[in-house]
């Protein structure tokens, strides 16, 4: 416990060194100097709170909010000094808000605790004392040997010791970690692979030295030292030997592994990345408004205090005969009395700050986010995937997007690769009916016959079949004969690969005669035109983004050592010394112009001496514990040189459905689209043209292949000049990764100027971090535009996290993008519905919600301020304490909440078909200073009408009751409060365009509830109330006809000007949105309209109307989404109108 406390305080860092030493089966050295290292236990903790810290931690987090902390201060002031209102008036709403939020957060955390306990209590088998012992997952310690059976998930991060296979290999799927469903092969070191029984493993004496835990799933550096009799054998350990917690064992009966990282130090736990908190523009506006209202509050309190003392300067008002001061009051300090009075006025006016605003906004965001998941238009039937909301805090930000940054592969395209062309030895080939046909030859030409492959063609196809990470379906390789006895295979082999490119190439090779039939141990088997050949796999030089290539070193059946390499042409061609380099480069450019993805293939032969040198260097680099990556990179560069070029491949990635329409719609909405891709320049430009990102009429500007700052700056200046000269023409800009780095280094301002004047920007050859830098550049520019990034792969994660709104595509490149995104959709085309409909609705709803909250609180508190002029600033309250408490909680809370969930000011189909309407809400148009000023002035105006209207109508003649009884101050205050509740509720009704039965219920129900509550509250003597000033007040008020007349007159007077203003503006200066509303209203149908039609047409119309009514009933609960039925509704409306 003490060590944990020291760690939390930072006095005792958990890892003192860069490496950890693990004794397998916890056989520690016997000498006395050894001090065991301390490791974390295997408990997973995803919860935020414990039983002990929930209350203090949750309260601390909630009181960090300005409004909550402010009301806490007010509540404490009410407890400490004599204030005009009871502490309950501030304490109860604060308690309600804090309690609701705490219950919500506590419930969510309880669910996390429940999930944690289920995981930590899962049964596992551990080798101890020479046998298998069943225990719970949380009891596993670092160094324990763990057994995992087929289809089980790994409970810790394990180094593989052995499996049921002789070669010590096993297959796993990491779908729960990175979403990749392909089978990955992991291999044990040879010395432990033979230990397949518990008894043999129990005798193992070995030590593992490895790096301390880190989050990178694909990086592991370590070595194992095995003691065998008198010698010690050292073997390198890398990612291929590490089995990650959360991965699942496949196609292997059982494995044994030693635990190296446990609990919160496993790579899965370290990837529980707490994303940086993104705040929406609406939330920032809300905080600004709170500060302005806080200033108004302070001004009112100070003014009231000063006026009180100014009034009391006259002796007759300072101490009237009916309110003489005590001796203590006469002798008290004037400064203390001033402060006390100031605080009392602060308490009196404190409700101008809407405490329930935060909790209402949270509920609106949380409940509103469900509509995205329920929207059938965002459901992809083929993959059975619906839209997913990972954070509800940014719903309204979807309606404010100004820049969209999109990946290309898998986002704009299907990421389903189809082999189209290849270049072998300077000759272009196409696949025609399962034959590799040279360009210009007919289909039945003997040159294209698969049984007469030339030597160069066969070598090229073998390179494609051997240099990859493709796996074969286990059902086809688990036969008794093994994968290399393939003569009897009746059906084509089913391949799995993490890269769709590799799968497409291996499948294409198999169709034209060179078939990869599987692996066994360290052997790879291919069948060339029916003849099996076995290649021994010696080394794999893994792909990495910096090298942009991968290689394998194999031993051919003749004993020759060969290196096969494939990768981007920029990484292969400069390293090639022979082959048809120039012709291949031309062919690669031609493939790219057609929009094909290109790879170059090369090979190298090694002499025995060269191979011996390579083997030695690789072993040294792979067993290094320090700077292993850098040393491996140097060795890989040493090996992958002096290559002989074999050829290149061209693979087509088809565009997704409706990509062109979506990009055009985004452009009409005023959103600029940037495509950020790692693809080749020509390929990227070709796809941009085909998807409508670039138009054929657009002037394409290029900033590519610059090596120095000076040339880059000069080119930028020329581009800026061209844009100014041709300001009428639309421009598109193409930038590559190297030029971008130079531009961002010294010429950021000039680069931004060029980009902002271009309609579309394409960045090619981009590294993942460069994508994030570009997003950050736009995000932090002086205009501070709202950015959205969308992608499907792990290389898009940094971009997605950097943008204001991150959207993941549920594609074929894993789930990392989806896991790290704010929203996830199955296809790019769904982006238009997400922004133009959901984003539009969410923004309008929450903008109105925020403004309305401030408006109704100005209406609420301003009469209280005005009343002080009539009571000599004695701090007498106008309203009863119960009304003060329940105004925001009960009487006016539900109508605005229901509005913020269901409002549709324009039909969803109209919003989606007219993207230009999106411009009406851009740049936070509805939460700017002008709308805020309008709502605030309207609130003050209504408050003045409430107060002075009631005063003029009833204040002079107080004897308005039939029995001659007089109205008192509580009756006057109740009249003002009644008028106010009805007016602010009716104001919400005026703002509502889309009425459902729920809106009617809560709107009229709120008014009815107020009347019923007031009758009960004032009609009964409640024994638990200390005083009951309101007894029979409300009943007396309602018994006066004059009071009813005053209520109706004042409500009409308040709302009349608002209605006139709306009508005039709508007809004289309508916005695009208001025109769309009028268009929607015109196509509304009625039974009278049907009755005027001929009988045959009337029948047809009536059948459509009956269908419409069914549609309306079925879509009543999903008004935020233009579902398929909603579209049908709109089409029927238009069709009926046209008829």
Report, as residue numbers or ranges, the catalytic residues: 407
Strand blocks (E) in 59-205? 123-128, 131-136, 145-149, 157-163, 169-174, 180-187
Q: Hey, is 416 helix, strand or coil?
A: strand
Closest CA to 659 of 488, 409, 386: 409
Query: Is the distance from CB of 419 to CB of 508 less than 8 angstroms?
Result: yes
In which residue are the tokens 């324990």 written?
144
Residues for the chain: how many in total?
Answer: 1139
Q: Hey, is 431 helix, strand or coil?
A: strand
Paired with 647 in beta bridges are 424, 601
Q: Quote helix, strand, coil % in the chain, to nearest 5.
A: 50, 20, 30
Tokens read off for 66: 């300005």
- Separation of CA 581 from chain center: 45
β-pairing, 643-655 with 413-424? antiparallel
**What letter would DSSP give residue 193?**
H
- End-to-end distance of the chain based on CA atoms, in angstroms? 79
Measured between alpha carbons, how far is 1007 from 1038 in angstroms, rounded to an integer? 14
**Phi and psi angles of residue 445, each rounded to the nearest 5 degrees, phi first:** -65, 140
Q: Hey, is 120 helix, strand or coil?
A: helix
In which residue are the tokens 């579309």 written?
760
- Side-chain half-sphere exposure of 748, counting CA atoms within 13 A: 11
Q: Alpha helix locations (H) across 369-426? A: 370-374
**What letter would DSSP give residue 747?**
-
Residues 6 or more apart whose CB falls under 8 angstroms from that of 721 comprise none
Measured between alpha carbons, how far is 928 from 940 in angstroms, rounded to an integer? 19
Measured between alpha carbons, how far is 806 from 395 in angstroms, rounded to an integer? 12
Measured between alpha carbons, how far is 14 from 41 in angstroms, rounded to an integer? 13
User: Largest Cα–Cα distance in the chain?
Assistant: 123
Tokens read off for 937: 């002035």
**Phi and psi angles of residue 876, each rounded to the nearest 5 degrees, phi first:** -70, 130
Query: Is the distance from CB of 102 to CB of 62 less than 8 angstroms?
Result: yes
β-pairing, 760-764 with 672-676? parallel
Measured between alpha carbons, how far is 818 from 179 in angstroms, rounded to an integer? 9
CA angle 454, 459, 465 (to 5 degrees): 125
**What letter would DSSP give residue 608?**
H
Other Cβ atoms less than 10 A from the Cβ of 915: the count is 20
**Phi and psi angles of residue 472, each rounded to the nearest 5 degrees, phi first:** -110, 145
Measured between alpha carbons, how far is 769 from 779 in angstroms, rounded to an integer? 15
Measured between alpha carbons, how far is 759 from 736 in angstroms, rounded to an integer? 18
Query: Is the distance from CB of 207 to CB of 24 less than 8 angstroms?
Result: yes
**Phi and psi angles of residue 861, each rounded to the nearest 5 degrees, phi first:** -95, -25
In which residue are the tokens 């196609």 written?
251
Q: At what angle do helices 1095-1114 and 1124-1138 cross, to 10 degrees?
A: 160
Tokens read off for 673: 């689209």
Question: 1063-1077 burial, b for 16+ CB within 10 Å, e for fewer?
Answer: eeeeeeeeeebbebb
């Amino acid at each position: 416990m003490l060590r944990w406390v020291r760690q939390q305080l930072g006095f005792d860092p958990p890892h003192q060194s860069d490496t950890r030493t693990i004794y397998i089966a916890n056989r520690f050295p016997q000498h006395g100097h050894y001090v065991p290292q301390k490791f974390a236990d295997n408990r997973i903790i995803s919860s935020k709170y414990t039983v002990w810290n929930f209350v203090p931690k949750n309260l601390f987090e909630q009181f960090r909010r300005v409004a909550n902390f402010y009301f806490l201060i007010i509540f404490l002031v009410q407890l400490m000094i004599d204030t005009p209102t009871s502490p309950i008036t501030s304490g109860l709403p604060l308690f309600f808000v804090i309690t609701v939020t705490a219950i919500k957060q506590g419930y969510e955390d309880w669910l996390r605790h429940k999930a944690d306990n289920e995981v930590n209590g899962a049964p596992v088998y551990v080798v101890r004392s020479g046998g298998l012992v069943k225990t719970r997952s949380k009891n596993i310690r670092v160094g324990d040997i763990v057994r995992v059976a087929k289809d089980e998930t790994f409970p810790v991060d394990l180094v593989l010791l052995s499996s049921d296979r002789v070669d010590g290999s096993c297959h796993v799927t990491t779908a729960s970690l990175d979403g990749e469903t392909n089978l990955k092969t992991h291999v044990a070191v040879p010395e432990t692979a033979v230990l397949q029984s518990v008894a043999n493993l129990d005798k193992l004496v070995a030590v593992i030295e490895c790096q301390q835990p880190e989050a990178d799933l694909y990086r592991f550096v370590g070595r194992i030292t095995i003691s065998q009799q008198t010698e010690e054998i050292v073997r390198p350990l890398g990612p291929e030997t590490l089995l990650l917690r959360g991965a699942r064992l496949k196609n292997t009966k059982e494995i044994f592994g030693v635990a190296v990282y446990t609990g919160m130090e496993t790579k899965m736990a370290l990837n529980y990345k707490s994303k940086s908190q993104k705040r929406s523009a609406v939330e920032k506006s809300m905080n600004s408004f709170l500060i302005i209202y806080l200033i108004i509050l302070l001004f009112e309190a100070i003014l009231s205090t000063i006026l009180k003392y100014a009034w009391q300067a006259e002796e007759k008002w300072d101490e009237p005969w009916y309110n003489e001061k005590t001796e203590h009051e006469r002798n008290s300090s004037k400064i203390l009395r001033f402060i006390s009075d100031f605080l009392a006025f602060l308490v009196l006016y404190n409700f101008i700050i809407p405490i329930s605003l935060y909790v209402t906004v949270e509920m609106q965001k949380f409940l509103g986010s469900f509509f995205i998941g329920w929207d059938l238009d965002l459901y992809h039937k083929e993959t059975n995937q619906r839209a997913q909301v990972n954070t509800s805090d940014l719903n309204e930000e979807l309606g404010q997007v100004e820049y969209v940054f999109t990946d290309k592969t898998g986002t704009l395209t299907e990421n389903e690769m189809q082999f189209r062309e290849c270049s072998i030895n300077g000759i272009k080939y196409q696949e025609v009916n399962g034959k590799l046909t040279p360009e210009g030859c007919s289909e039945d030409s003997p040159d294209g016959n698969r049984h007469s492959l030339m030597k160069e063609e066969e070598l090229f196809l073998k390179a494609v079949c051997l240099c990859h990470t493709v796996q074969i379906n286990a059902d086809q390789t688990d036969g008794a004969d093994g994968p290399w006895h393939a003569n009897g295979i009746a059906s084509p082999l089913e391949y799995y690969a993490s890269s769709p490119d590799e799968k497409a190439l291996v499948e294409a090779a198999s169709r034209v005669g060179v078939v990869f039939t599987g692996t066994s141990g360290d052997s790879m088997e291919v069948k060339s035109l029916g003849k099996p050949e076995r290649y021994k796999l010696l080394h794999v030089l893994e792909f990495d983004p910096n090298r942009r290539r991968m290689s394998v070193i194999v031993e051919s059946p003749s004993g020759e050592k060969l290196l096969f390499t494939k990768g981007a042409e920029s990484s292969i061609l400069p390293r090639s010394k022979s082959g048809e380099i120039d012709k291949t480069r031309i062919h690669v450019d031609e493939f790219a112009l057609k929009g094909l993805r290109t790879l170059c293939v090369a090979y190298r032969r090694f002499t025995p001496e060269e191979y011996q040198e390579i083997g030695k260097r690789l072993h040294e680099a792979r067993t290094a514990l320090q700077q292993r990556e850098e040393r491996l990179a140097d060795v890989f560069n040493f090996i992958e040189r002096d290559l002989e070029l074999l050829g290149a491949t061209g693979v087509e990635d088809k565009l997704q459905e409706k990509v062109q329409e979506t990009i055009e719609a985004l452009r009409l909405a005023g959103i600029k689209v940037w495509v950020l891709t790692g693809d080749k320049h020509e390929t990227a430009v070709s796809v941009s043209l085909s998807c409508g990102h670039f138009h054929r009429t657009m002037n394409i500007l290029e900033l590519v292949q610059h090596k120095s700052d000076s040339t880059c700056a000069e080119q930028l200046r020329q581009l800026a000049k061209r844009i100014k000269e041709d300001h009428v023409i639309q421009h598109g800009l193409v930038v590559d990764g190297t030029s971008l780095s130079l531009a961002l280094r010294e010429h950021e301002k000039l680069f931004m100027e060029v980009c902002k004047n271009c309609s579309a920007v394409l960045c090619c050859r981009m590294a993942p971090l460069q994508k994030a830098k570009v997003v950050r550049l736009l995000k932090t520019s002086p205009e501070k535009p709202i950015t959205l990034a969308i992608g499907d792969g792990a290389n898009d994660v940094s971009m997605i996290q950097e943008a204001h709104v991150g959207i993941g595509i549920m594609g074929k490149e894993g789930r990392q993008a989806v896991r790290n995104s704010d929203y996830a959709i199955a296809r790019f085309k769904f982006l238009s519905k997400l922004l133009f409909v959901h984003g539009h609705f969410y923004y309008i709803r929450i903008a109105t919600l925020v403004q309305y909250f401030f408006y109704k609180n100005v209406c609420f508190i301003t009469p209280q301020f005005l009343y002080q002029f009539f009571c000599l600033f004695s701090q007498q309250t106008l309203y009863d304490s119960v009304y003060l408490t329940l105004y925001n909680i009960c009487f006016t809370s539900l109508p605005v909440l229901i509005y913020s969930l269901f409002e549709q000011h324009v039909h969803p189909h109209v919003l989606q078909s007219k993207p230009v309407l999106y411009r009406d809400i851009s740049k936070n148009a509805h939460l700017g200073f002008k709308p805020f000023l309008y709502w605030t002035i309207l609130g003050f105006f209504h408050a003045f009408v409430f107060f002075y209207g009631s005063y003029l109508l009833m204040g002079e003649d107080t004897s308005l009751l039939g029995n001659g009884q007089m109205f008192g101050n509580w009756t006057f205050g109740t009249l003002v409060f009644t008028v106010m509740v009805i007016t602010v509720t009716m104001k919400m009704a005026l703002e509502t365009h889309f009425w459902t039965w729920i809106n009617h219920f809560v709107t009229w129900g709120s008014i009815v509830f107020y009347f019923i509550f007031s009758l009960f509250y004032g009609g009964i003597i409640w024994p638990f109330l200390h005083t009951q000033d309101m007894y029979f007040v409300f009943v007396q008020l309602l018994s006066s006809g004059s009071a009813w007349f005053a209520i109706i007159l004042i409500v009409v007077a308040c709302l009349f000007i608002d209605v006139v203003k709306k009508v005039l503006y709508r007809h004289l200066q309508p916005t695009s949105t208001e025109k769309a509303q009028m268009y929607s209203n015109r196509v509304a149908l009625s039974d009278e309209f049907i009755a005027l039609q001929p009988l045959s047409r009337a029948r047809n119309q009536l059948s459509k109307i009956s269908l419409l009514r069914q549609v309306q009933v079925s879509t009543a609960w999903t008004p935020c989404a233009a579902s398929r039925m909603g579209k049908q509704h709109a089409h029927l409306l238009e069709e009926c109108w046209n008829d």
